[in-house]
Structure 1
Amino acid sequence: MEQFDWTQVSQIAPEELPDVITTYLIAHQTRDIDSAIAHYTIDAVVTDEGRDHRGAAEIRTWLGRAATEYTYTTTLTAAYRADQDHFDVLHRLQGNFPGGIADLHFRFTLRDGLVARLIIEP
């Protein structure tokens, strides 16, 4: 997978995010796993907590585990664009996980109108 320099971004209004990202985030937050999976390319990779989840089966398992492991709310706090295929969406999570509050970047790489890569990190 490509290495991308996420320091070269410009802030945008959340309304300027591509539809695939906004509809994915809604599916992710409402724990609609089938809809969330439909937003990924067939060879997509999600990195969360330093671990890669490759392809629909692994991503589905990751989404299912994330949906049941903790209870939390998510607030979009900022959105950034690097180019037409790279977007960074900053979220504040509050819930019953260790620490209780976390600010996380959801870094999207798009290909052909779908999510090819998602990196979730502080």
Structure 2
Amino acid sequence: MTLPAPIETYFTAEAPQEGPRFAAAFAPEAIVHDEGKSHRGPAEIEAWWKAAKAKYRHRAEPLEVTEARGKTVVRARVSGHFPGSPAMLTFTFGLSGDRITDLRIGG
């Protein structure tokens, strides 16, 4: 499966050491919606990602990629230290050029 470069970075960056590479995949005005909260801009998104990685120690394995309404939708198996692990989650990415502009993560 071939993922667009910024989405590949999203799934392969290692926390916390690759935080700058992870943050660089996001556009300056990017927004992430996860667990009922919104995170705006690369710095805030990087902080959210590092905190989630530390809390859940999770890995996401992309299994399927589709396009829907101008978005790139990735279904992934997420496993880690949380109830219900592993879980199938949907990652809906908006892209502009080589950057992620928005991301919504859901079950």
What SS class does the counterpart of residue 84 from structure 2 fall into? Answer: coil
1:118 to 100, 103, 107: 103
TM-score by structure 1 length? Answer: 0.77
Larger Rg over CA atoms: 1
Q: How far 1:54 sits from its partner (Å)?
A: 0.7
User: Among the aligned pairs, what percent are the same residue?
Assistant: 33
| Gapped regions of structure 2 (runs ≥ 5) | none
Instruction: Determine if the alignment matches structure 1 residue 66 to structure 2 residue 80.
Output: no
Superposition RMSD in Å: 1.5
Aligned residue in 2 for 1:76: 62
Give 1:100 shift: 1.9
Unmatched segments (≥5 aa) in structure 1: 1-13
Show the counterpart of 2:76.
91
Task: Give the TM-score normalised by the residue count of structure 2.
Answer: 0.87
Q: Deviations over 1:76-119 (max 9, x none)?
A: 12111136x51011111122212222111111000132100011
**8 Å Cα contact 1:93-1:102 kept in structure 2:** yes
Instruction: Count how many residue pairs are aligned between Structure 1 and Structure 2.
Output: 105
Could you report, residue by residue, the CA deviation over 1:48-97 in whole angstroms, capped at 9, with x for unpaired residues?
A: 112100112321210110120012332212111136x5101111112221
> Runs ≥4 in structure 1, deviation > 4 angstroms?
none
